Amino acid sequence: MNPHEPELHLLMLKSNSGDEAAYRTLLQKLSGLFRRFFRQKLYGRDDAAAEDLVQETLLAIHLNRRRYDPGRPFTAWVYAIARYKLMDHFRRKPAGREFVPVDDVVGLFSEETADQTDFGRDIEVLLAQLPEKQGSAIQLVKLDHLSIREASVKLSISEADVKVSIHRGLKKLMSLVSKEKSS
């Protein structure tokens, strides 16, 4: 079993029962592991792309979190998604393609890279491409840190509508990010 498994599995269980702090810790730990993994797989030549992959993978995990089966190893689940994102990256940019073994779970959990350089894209540009309701819902709740209720008052739509808009918006964002990378 992967040495990270007990800790991460527990964090994931807590996260899926709505524990915000546990979820934050989990995503932080994962982003360190992902960063190290993707940089290594890209031979340290493209740290910006590696950082994009980190973010895409985190987003994918977030959007798929209810599909995680608690009875199965969490590290393997996460590695499968990270590898999927990596293969996707290579499909879009065939140069530098290399063999990634399907069961190299250890490779993802080898050693963390502590410091992080920000090569992020401008979120505002992406948000502007979303339908207005989704864009403003994400802007208000996720960036301006309003509550769902406050956002629903501000946008004069129902709270459920705000939640759905955020969810759909995040999904759309993810497809925009991948489209942008392939072009």
Structure tokens at 32: 């360190």
* Site for another protein, residues 117 to 146, rule: CB under 8 A: 118, 120-123, 141-143, 145
> Could you give the dihedral angle defined by the CA atoms of residues 112, 117, 123 and 125, in that order, rounded to the nearest 10 degrees?
-140
**Applying CB under 8 A, which part among 39-47, 76-84, 129-137, 154-162 lies near another protein?**
76-84
For residue 55, the minimal CB distance to another protein (Å) is 5
How far apart are the C-alpha atoms of 54 and 13, rounded to whole Å?
Answer: 21
Long-range contacts of 136-145 (CB under 8 A, 24+ apart): 137/162, 137/165, 137/166, 137/169, 138/165, 138/166, 138/169, 138/170, 138/173, 141/166, 142/166
Residue 50 interacts with another protein (CB under 8 A)? Answer: no
Distances (CA, A) of 128 to 101, 125, 162: 38, 5, 17
**Among residue numbers 8 through 47, which ones bind another protein (CB under 8 A)?**
15-20, 23-24, 27-28, 31, 35
Applying CB under 8 A, what is the total number of residues that bind another protein? 49
Nearer to another protein, 44 or 106 (CB): 106
How many residues are there in the chain? 183
Nearer to another protein (CB atom), residue 133 or residue 159: 159
Token pair recorded at residue 165:
């808009």
Binding site for another protein (CB under 8 A): 15-20, 23-24, 27-28, 31, 35, 51, 54-55, 58-60, 62, 64-70, 76-81, 83-84, 102-103, 105, 116, 118, 120-123, 141-143, 145, 147-148
